[in-house]
Amino acid sequence: MIGTLYIVATPIGNLDDITFRAIETLKNADVILAEDTRHSRRLLNHYDIKTDLRAFHEHNETQKAQLVISELLEGKNMALISDAGTPLISDPGYVLVREAKKAGVMASPIPGASAMISAMSVAGIASDQFGFFGFLPNKQTARIKAIQAIAHIDQTAIFYESPKRILACARDLQSVLGDDRIVCFAKELTKSFETIKTDTLPNLINYLEADQAHQKGEFVVLISSIDKNNKVIGEEQLDKILPILLMEMGASKAAKLAAKITGIDKKHCYQRAIDL
């Protein structure tokens, strides 16, 4: 019989935040694939899980995926875990799951903790519609472009940020979003120094700058959706300037300049330009 690939959610901080089913799955699997075996060993030791543990991370995923699938096809049951939370949410595993499904192997989710969902539940920001964007680019120019792309969506935008870049990211957010947008910084969720701050960006930047310790920990950042009135104003402004720009330059250049002036996504401006 073909084995099953279990995608197992693990705690994001507090070791008690794991389901009974997840513990039993990890105990009964033939192999556990872990993003960082040293990190995961602490969790396994805590629950006296003796299952064979192997490294499976972004640097060896493509190389090892076929080997794992071969063992699954031989009847072994494998459990994939990440360092914390639900695997494949900004973590390795996509290639393995995709290839396993192609080979006829069932991938079964064992649900549990997720930093993104946990942060959204306590942010005090609308959660009926949201988009998740993983980690933003490391370099400032690319990061600002990414922020500009999500600045005008009609839903809450969520992404992860590291302690090394959180202050620079906050300043970039302010440069694109302005001073009035409501943003949440949620860090160290479920841990001793759990902190959830929902405020305007000037106040959040003041918080980060007040103490170097405030920048420590892994962050979940949530940006409230654009105010509908502001979006209408932006669209009206686009309607006025785009025809003028198109008289002087091509659609691509006009869209790029219009995006800078209005703050509206360049792709949207370009589509409007070619429709005129």
Q: For tokens 């509206």, name the residue.
A: 264
Distances (CA, A) of 196 to 11, 121, 123, 159, 212: 18, 11, 7, 15, 17
The 8 Å CB, 24+ separation contacts for 58-61 are 58/92, 61/92, 61/93, 61/95, 61/96
pLDDT of the residue at 68: 95
Q: For tokens 């106040």, name the residue.
A: 203
Q: What is the pLDDT of residues 121-147, one digit of tens each?
A: 999 999 999 999 999 999 999 999 999
Q: 116-223 has which CATH code?
A: 3.30.950.10
Q: What is the pLDDT of residues 172-188, one digit of tens each?
A: 999 989 898 999 999 99
Predicted TM-score (pTM) above 0.75 = yes
For the domain made up of 4-113, the CATH class stated in words is alpha beta
Which H or E element spans position 79?
A: strand 78-81
- C-beta of residue 82 within 8 angstroms of C-beta of residue 92: yes
Taking 50 as the pLDDT cut, the residues of the chain under it are none
pLDDT of the residue at 232: 61
